[in-house]
Structure 1
Amino acid sequence: MMPFGIAWAFLYFCQMFVTATPDVHWCRVPELDSLSMEMRRSLVTPTTGNYDFDKCNTFDTNWTQVLESLRAPEAGTPTIPCPNGWEFQFEDIPYSTVVSERGWVCDRAYLVPWSQSISFVGSVIGGIVCGMLADKYGRLPALVLANVFGIIGNVGTIFTTGFWDFSICRFIAGMSVDSCFLLIYILVLEYVGTRYRTWVSNLSIALFFGGGCVLLPWVALWISDWKWIMFATAVPSVLVFLTPFLVPESARWLISKGRVDKAVTVLKRFEKMNGNKIPDNVMEKFVTIAKTRIEKEEGISLIFKTPSLRIMVVFLIIAFMAVAVMFDGIIRMSENLGMDFFVTFAVTSATEIPSIIVLLFLLDRLGRRWLVFAPMMAAGILCLVTAFVPRGIISVSLAVTARFFNNMSYVSIIQWTPELMPTAVRASGASFVHITAFAAVIVSPFIVYSDNLWEGLSLIIVGVVGLAGASLALFLPETKGQRMPQTLDDWKELAKKKFYVRNTS
């Protein structure tokens, strides 16, 4: 699971580091290129009413005369939008990015959130495709395909020159997220018993996804070239080509397809590796029962044909949307919280590990339902408070704490989602829930962009969304201590434990 957890983190967030916008930029005036950077900036940049430099306009004047006198145009000189592009001071972002190379600032700054949203549209399409293929053809082929999308998208981005070719490549890379990890996650959970399921699922996210998030800003700083960052963040996905030779297909999936003999072959491989033989009478009983429990219906249509499953999925989708929008929003606000972008990103990402360690000791005690609801309520309140405090160490501290609680909810609902699904629709159903979350996250870059209208507006939006959506988690069946449903009948038994589906299952 390690390379795919890291690939998930890299593919999800790498676009932030190649489209980061240096805070200090001003209009380029070719006539002044021979002067020092500070002199050029002081001569060409008007000041605004609060004595800040105007990043998007310059004086409409004779620059040859300005060069001769080395004096800025007089106050009241008309200004015009930058006619020759921009210059950037590479201090907060110490390398050239897509934004600085292509001038995606000022009246073109909207291209950054649009390109990110197009990437999320790719995640929606990729989730549908990979989820359906995983339930029809197996977890491993779909896992390979998902990671191939990431490799093609990232490497292709290197050769783009404009907005649309860049966005198409980000769309392809987006098709990898988060199927590049979700499918191996589901496969592993389908082998792990109830006793260890929480530890295996959560440690994999804490160590590999969380570790990848912490590592990413330092990889970007070390490379300091957006094209090579794109290449480097595709490398973990390459290991997917070894997976079919090392990882067995899910025995649960094989059984759901009637391929019981193949499932037995896989289990015998486990016997050999573990040095622990399954008793013959147990194996015979397993084969007999497995051959009678083949689902005749498959794919996502099963969800919509089953009332209790359909209602559960709707509630789960809304809760997941709220958790995902807050998760993505907080991390994308790293540029807007008043401290170093790379440090802020790393620190907020580092909360992944301790928050999940805490979760490990609580999830099988308190259950999934409360550990989605309660931390999200705390995170939502913290976001609302952060919106009204000064930018700097206080806002960063509050945002880090909010991310800590949000991580707990995010990881809980990731584990909860496949636990609620019957095997026949586990991959497509979980992917469907995840892609609806990505559909909501499409607006996340624009939520962050709303800070241009009023500082703190993005935090208010994220906080309200979190508070409103997470409460629906209270209406979902608890899976603590329960085996994952293999068949639709197993799901109906689980659903009866929650009041709202008792009469509709």
Structure 2
Amino acid sequence: MSDKKEKDFDDVTLFLGDYGPFQITLIFLLSLFIIPNGYMGVVFVFVSDTPDFHCKVNEKWNLNSSYVQDFTFTERSSSVGPDGCSRYKERLNSSQVSPSNDTEACADGWDFSKDIYTATIVSEWELVCDNAWKVPFSSSLYFVGVLTGSFVCGNLSDRIGRKPVLFLTMAMQCITALIQAASVNWGMFTMLSCLRGFGLTSCYTTSLILGSEILSPKPRMAYNLLGQSVGFGLGYALLPLFGYFIRDWRMLLVACAIPGLLVMPLWWVVPESPRWLLQKNRLKEAEAVIRKAAKMNQVSTPDIIFPSKEYERNSYTCLDLLRTSNIRIITLMGIFMWFTCILVFSGLSLNTSNLNGNKYLNCFISAVIDIAAYIMTWVMVSRMSRPIFVFSSMMFCGILLLIIQLVPDGVGRFGISAAYSIMFVFFIELMPTVVRNTGLGIFSTTGRIGSILCPYIIYLGVYNKGTPYIVFGSMSIVASVLTLFLPDTRNNKLPELISQVQPVHRSSKFGRRTGYCPMSAPKVSK
């Protein structure tokens, strides 16, 4: 950028105010993108659930229901797998068929209970016993898609813009869900799960960044915590409602896909990020966004909003996150913190879905806990520094997980949900505009690696029920301590360049504010 003294973007657009019609409309519209993400990410809980089942009895035997019960196993021995994978061998006494003590495999398939579901992928394609591995494999491939999308779309958004990636990823996850509902076999379903995951997190992250780059600090926080996080929680809470009334997995996917497609006409309403446009030297388009906002807010604009000059047009890649020691340290800390946060959040979500009792009620309670945590975060975050808040939330979660036998599971989830919601806000404020979506994409990617590894940590509970909680709790405590070395970004301006990123703390004075000074940023060579 030029070495002339330039005003910061927030200073230039100060005349727009904070909560005018433009800001309120933008918060509402972008929040509509988040609600589908809330249920699309966890719809697999109902789509792939395993109903009670038992072996089919050969129809040629012509047995009544009491004999069928004698021939089959219907109980499950543990959470690892069912034991309904065998039946008693038939024993013929003249013309009568009766069970013997010997068993055999279910040669004629299985009968699945329809007490809860009309159909799931498990009952339709008989994904039990020797084929039971296909269910978690489908889930893992979904998270592989999430991981890949986080990395690819993060970089793509910094190159072609926030708005195109936002609509592209929303369309991608909804269209693939519709095609997935027409899957003819498990392989087709699984590949489409991967593609659907590709768009999910990318849509969430891009919408968060788009709103953050347009809004001023006060409405930015309201959007991030109320619009985004609560919107996601509301979507999560809608899933058990959809699932309760729609018991067939195909129709459930269709119902989840349609609301996302309804937001596509908003292409002609939602603006591109003016910060991103300025970084691409597209001044006229950036000014057009601001003038339209001023018109909605009924405020006058200066003749020249952004002085004509040559803005920095360097191309940035993920390697720029390692360019200086400061941003390198922040990046490495962020990778571990995001990995831990999403690992623990996913682990507790998986545990909630495995609780005894009504599946729909458990899912709804989990969503309510998340929403309560998000609202509490919004109330408290303006009163505490960002590092102290994340430290408190993750330390609270870590300690409770280590003493999980003494407290309800939901209490630990409350802490990690609060940390998860503020993590996006915190690192958006830390990362500069030129690599913001790339950085968030990398953080989200490493976090999704945690999601993929999570089932294996949960599996350790087969040997010792407390082991997963010890792993989750210990990692939460370590991550919480690292947070104290990061600068406080509360009420600070968003950095535009790498040189404007706030320095990490190398002393014991944690949590202090060290806002950057854009007027003294060094000149960057082209």
Q: Which interval holds the TM-score relative to the shorter structure?
A: 0.7 to 0.9
Query: Using the alignment, how far apart are the partners of 1:244 and 1:46 within structure 2?
Result: 52
Distance 1:100 1:49, change over 3 A: closer
Query: Using the alignment, how far apart are the partners of 1:329 and 1:191 within structure 2?
Result: 34
Query: Using the alignment, how far apart are the partners of 2:289 and 2:56 within structure 1?
Result: 65
**Greater mean deviation of Cα atoms: 362-371 or 421-430:** 362-371
Distance 1:49 1:419, change over 3 A: closer
How many matched pairs? 480
1:32 CA displacement = 8.1
1:486 CA displacement = 1.2
Which amino acid counterpart does residue 408 of structure 1 have in structure 2? A
Q: Could you list the runs of 5+ residues in structure 1 that have no partner in the other structure? A: 390-396
1:315 corresponding residue in structure 2: 333
Contact 2:53–2:74 under 8 Å retained in 1: no
1:210 CA displacement = 0.4
Structure 1 residue 117 corresponds to structure 2 residue 135 = no
1:41 CA displacement = 3.2
Alignment counterpart, residue 370 of structure 2, candidates 352, 355, 370: 352
1:135 corresponding residue in structure 2: 158
**Greater mean deviation of Cα atoms: 33-42 or 325-334:** 33-42
Contact 1:380–1:402 under 8 Å retained in 2: yes
1:86 corresponding residue in structure 2: 110
Query: Using the alignment, how far apart are the partners of 1:478 and 1:339 within structure 2?
Result: 43
Distance 1:405 1:64, change over 3 A: farther
Cα deviation 1:381-403 (Å, max 9, x = unaligned): 333444x47xxxxxxx8122222
Q: TM-score normalised to the size of structure 2?
A: 0.84
1:14 CA displacement = 1.1
1:406 CA displacement = 1.2
2:237 corresponding residue in structure 1: 214
**Greater mean deviation of Cα atoms: 296-305 or 241-250:** 296-305
**Greater mean deviation of Cα atoms: 366-375 or 82-91:** 82-91
**Greater mean deviation of Cα atoms: 367-376 or 291-300:** 291-300
Which amino acid counterpart does residue 165 of structure 1 have in structure 2? M
2:54 corresponding residue in structure 1: 26
Query: Using the alignment, how far apart are the partners of 1:146 and 1:252 within structure 2?
Result: 21
Structure (1 or 2) with the greater helix fraction: 1
Distance 1:54 1:279, change over 3 A: closer
Q: TM-score normalised to the size of structure 1?
A: 0.87
Structure 1 residue 44 corresponds to structure 2 residue 64 = no
Contact 2:55–2:87 under 8 Å retained in 1: no
Distance 1:67 1:49, change over 3 A: farther
1:218 CA displacement = 1.4
Contact 2:171–2:264 under 8 Å retained in 1: no
Superposition map of 1:64-103 within 5 A: 68=96, 72-73=99-100, 77-91=101-115, 93-103=116-126
2:387 corresponding residue in structure 1: 369
SS in 2 for 1:359: helix
Which amino acid counterpart does residue 44 of structure 1 have in structure 2? T
Distance 1:454 1:123, change over 3 A: same
Superposition map of 1:152-171 within 5 A: 152-171=175-194
Superposition map of 1:326-345 within 5 A: 326-345=344-363
Alignment counterpart, residue 287 of structure 1, candidates 295, 301, 307: 307
Distance 1:481 1:168, change over 3 A: same
1:412 CA displacement = 0.8
Which amino acid counterpart does residue 29 of structure 1 have in structure 2? V
1:383 corresponding residue in structure 2: 401
Contact 1:127–1:435 under 8 Å retained in 2: yes
Query: Using the alignment, how far apart are the partners of 1:152 and 1:66 within structure 2?
Result: 59
1:58 corresponding residue in structure 2: 86
Query: Using the alignment, how far apart are the partners of 1:456 and 1:497 within structure 2?
Result: 35
Alignment counterpart, residue 465 of structure 1, candidates 468, 475, 491: 475
Contact 1:128–1:428 under 8 Å retained in 2: yes
1:380 CA displacement = 2.8
SS in 1 for 2:381: helix
Query: Using the alignment, how far apart are the partners of 1:460 and 1:118 within structure 2?
Result: 27
Structure 1 residue 9 corresponds to structure 2 residue 9 = no
Alignment counterpart, residue 406 of structure 1, candidates 409, 412, 416: 416
Which amino acid counterpart does residue 28 of structure 1 have in structure 2? K
Percent of pairs identical after alignment? 27
Contact 1:323–1:470 under 8 Å retained in 2: no
1:377 CA displacement = 2.4
**Greater mean deviation of Cα atoms: 352-361 or 455-464:** 455-464
Which amino acid counterpart does residue 43 of structure 2 have in structure 1? C
Query: Using the alignment, how far apart are the partners of 1:381 and 1:165 within structure 2?
Result: 43
Q: Could you list the runs of 5+ residues in structure 2 that have no partner in the other structure? A: 1-29, 515-521
Query: Considering only aligned residues, what root-mean-square deviation do their CA atoms show, in Å?
Result: 2.9
SS in 1 for 2:382: helix
SS in 2 for 1:133: helix
Cα deviation 1:171-208 (Å, max 9, x = unaligned): 00000121112212111111121223222210013431
Distance 1:54 1:369, change over 3 A: closer
1:84 CA displacement = 2.6
Which amino acid counterpart does residue 20 of structure 1 have in structure 2? D
1:322 CA displacement = 0.8
Contact 2:90–2:99 under 8 Å retained in 1: no
Alignment counterpart, residue 174 of structure 1, candidates 190, 197, 201: 197
1:244 corresponding residue in structure 2: 267
SS in 2 for 1:365: coil
Distance 1:424 1:188, change over 3 A: same
**Greater mean deviation of Cα atoms: 29-38 or 250-259:** 29-38
Contact 1:322–1:470 under 8 Å retained in 2: no
2:288 corresponding residue in structure 1: 265
SS in 2 for 1:78: strand
Distance 1:54 1:258, change over 3 A: closer
Which amino acid counterpart does residue 336 of structure 1 have in structure 2? N
Which amino acid counterpart does residue 328 of structure 1 have in structure 2? S
**Greater mean deviation of Cα atoms: 13-22 or 244-253:** 13-22
Contact 2:485–2:505 under 8 Å retained in 1: no
Distance 1:231 1:489, change over 3 A: same
Which amino acid counterpart does residue 114 of structure 2 have in structure 1? F
SS in 2 for 1:294: coil
Query: Using the alignment, how far apart are the partners of 2:283 and 2:215 within structure 1?
Result: 19
Query: Using the alignment, how far apart are the partners of 1:260 and 1:35 within structure 2?
Result: 79
Distance 1:47 1:349, change over 3 A: closer
SS in 2 for 1:443: helix
Query: Using the alignment, how far apart are the partners of 1:66 and 1:10 within structure 2?
Result: 57
Flag as ranges the 4+ runs of structure 1 deviating above 6 A: 46-50
1:330 CA displacement = 1.3
Query: Using the alignment, how far apart are the partners of 1:336 and 1:311 within structure 2?
Result: 38
SS in 2 for 1:87: strand
Which amino acid counterpart does residue 287 of structure 1 have in structure 2? P
1:292 CA displacement = 5.2
Contact 2:230–2:374 under 8 Å retained in 1: no
Which amino acid counterpart does residue 324 of structure 2 have in structure 1? T
Alignment counterpart, residue 302 of structure 1, candidates 285, 305, 320: 320
